[in-house]
């Protein structure tokens, strides 16, 4: 079936690079002779008919911008069969032949159901700072988020050493420690706590004792918000009990990690994956996420992307432990 009209939407949490991906979808669609329609506010906009045609002017000068020009919103209604039926009716209303969705596993779960229930071509792009999607080495926005954390922690370390303070920095990662692990190594953190590895409090105490012997208590602990210990505030509480003389501060970076101009890596990744998504629809592919593995484009069925968890690099975690000694 010839793709005359392609829809594109962003859903879930915004990530740096989403605009670059939208731009690529529009430009690639134009190249292949397809009209592209932007669906605003994710699946909510698909159900409630918030749709506009996009052209070259629509995506002019957006490749460097963070966030998403198509907006994003949570949509409980789309989680129901009735909601997805309304979404499909909207697609039919605009004669849209295929859909590109950009987001995380929740977004791709919705894409899988929509495509399966209504026999509709959908291709997904991995848009999440968490980097936890199976089927790609890097997700759109992850590199930028890590660099944002590194820039923040570098500044925090200046204060830590000026005042001999221990800073506990909490980063995003409810279920995955990719941001914490990579940014922790890049900033020379004294300890990195992630959901994938159990936190043993005695080991943490031992690390702090070693650090105190040569730097009077100054240092950085990176904690993923989903760490089994309960986040930065819980870690602070335990350390204060053991080391009451420590000068401790907690810094929760929060949503700063989701914003900002995307790095060059994220811009190129998003551009390439956006183009491949359109080409996949043109070639008749459906029900898949486009990813990059070992610098090669790979297509992973939604079922696998959703079912499997992408594990952190165990060797990288070992390296982090050794370098922190």
- State the residue for tokens 């509709």: 120
Say if residue 212's pLDDT is above 80. Answer: no
- In whole angstroms, give the CA distance from residue 166 to residue 219: 5
* Predicted pLDDT of residue 216: 57
- In whole angstroms, give the CA distance from residue 322 to residue 192: 11
Q: If you average pLDDT over residues 195-203, what whole number do you get?
A: 80
DSSP class of residue 305? Answer: H
Greatest mean pLDDT range, 67-81, 204-218, 219-233, 234-248: 67-81
Domains defined along the chain, listed by start: 5-141+262-307 (3.40.50.450), 143-258 (3.40.50.460)
- State the residue for tokens 């918000």: 225
* Predicted pLDDT of residue 126: 98
For strand 166-171 and strand 248-252, is the pairing parallel, antiparallel, or unpaired? parallel
Half-sphere exposure of 213 (CA within 13 A, CB side): 7
* Predicted pLDDT of residue 243: 85
Say if residue 215's pLDDT is above 60. Answer: no
Q: Which residue has the higher pLDDT, 212 or 79?
A: 79
Spatial contact of 258 and 80, defined as CB atoms under 8 Å apart: no
DSSP letters of 226-287?
T-TT-SHHHHHHHHHHH-TT--EEEEE-GGGGG-SPPPHHHHHHHHHHHHHHHHHHHTT--S
Spatial contact of 1 and 97, defined as CB atoms under 8 Å apart: yes
- In whole angstroms, give the CA distance from residue 325 to residue 153: 19
pLDDT tens per residue, range 276-319 = 999 999 999 999 999 999 999 999 999 999 998 888 887 888 88
For strand 122-126 and strand 166-171, is the pairing parallel, antiparallel, or unpaired? unpaired
Instruction: Return the sign of the alpha-carbon dihedral for residues 199, 153, 130, 320.
Output: negative
* Predicted pLDDT of residue 105: 92
Residue 2: CB partners within 8 Å, gap ≥ 6?
97
- In whole angstroms, give the CA distance from residue 38 to residue 103: 15
Q: Which residue has the higher pLDDT, 114 or 247?
A: 114
97 is catalytic: no
Q: Mean pLDDT in the chain?
A: 92
* Predicted pLDDT of residue 68: 97
Spatial contact of 130 and 104, defined as CB atoms under 8 Å apart: yes
Name the token pair of 292: 């990059």
Given the residues 130, 143, 227, 266, the one annotated as active site: 130
DSSP letters of 33-80?
T-EEEEETTHHHHHHTT-EEEE-TTTTTT-TT--S-TT-----GGGGS
The widest CA-to-CA distance across the chain, in whole angstroms, is: 70
């Amino acid at each position: 079936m010839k793709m005359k009209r392609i829809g594109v939407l962003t859903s879930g949490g915004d990530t740096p690079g989403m605009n670059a991906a939208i731009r690529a979808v529009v430009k690639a669609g134009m190249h292949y002779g397809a009209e592209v329609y932007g669906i605003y506010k994710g699946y909510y906009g698909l159900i409630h008919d918030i749709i506009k045609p996009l052209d070259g002017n629509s995506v002019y000068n957006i490749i460097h911008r963070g966030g998403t020009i198509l907006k994003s919103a949570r949509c409980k209604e789309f989680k129901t069969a009735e909601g997805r039926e309304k979404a499909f009716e909207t697609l039919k209303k605009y004669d849209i032949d295929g859909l590109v969705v950009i987001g995380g596993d929740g977004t791709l779960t919705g894409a899988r159901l929509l495509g399966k229930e209504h026999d509709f071509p959908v291709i997904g792009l991995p848009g999440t700072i968490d980097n936890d999607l199976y089927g790609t080495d890097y997700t759109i926005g992850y590199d930028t988020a890590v660099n944002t954390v590194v820039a923040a922690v570098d500044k925090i370390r200046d204060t830590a050493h000026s005042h001999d303070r221990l800073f506990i920095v909490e980063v995003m990662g409810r279920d995955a420690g990719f941001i914490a692990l990579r940014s922790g190594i890049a900033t020379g953190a004294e300890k990195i706590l992630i959901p994938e590895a159990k936190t043993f409090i005695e080991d943490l105490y031992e690390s702090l004792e070693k650090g105190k012997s040569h730097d009077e208590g100054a240092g950085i602990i990176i904690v993923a918000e989903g760490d089994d210990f309960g986040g930065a505030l819980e870690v602070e509480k335990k350390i204060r009990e053991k080391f009451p003389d420590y000068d401790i501060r907690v810094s929760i970076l929060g949503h700063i990690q989701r914003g900002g101009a995307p790095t060059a890596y994220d811009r190129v990744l998003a551009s390439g994956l956006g183009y491949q998504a359109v080409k996949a629809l043109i070639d008749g592919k459906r029900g898949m996420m486009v990813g990059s593995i070992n610098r090669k484009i790979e297509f992973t069925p939604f079922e696998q992307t959703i079912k499997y968890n992408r594990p952190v690099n165990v060797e990288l975690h070992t390296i982090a432990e050794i370098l922190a000694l």
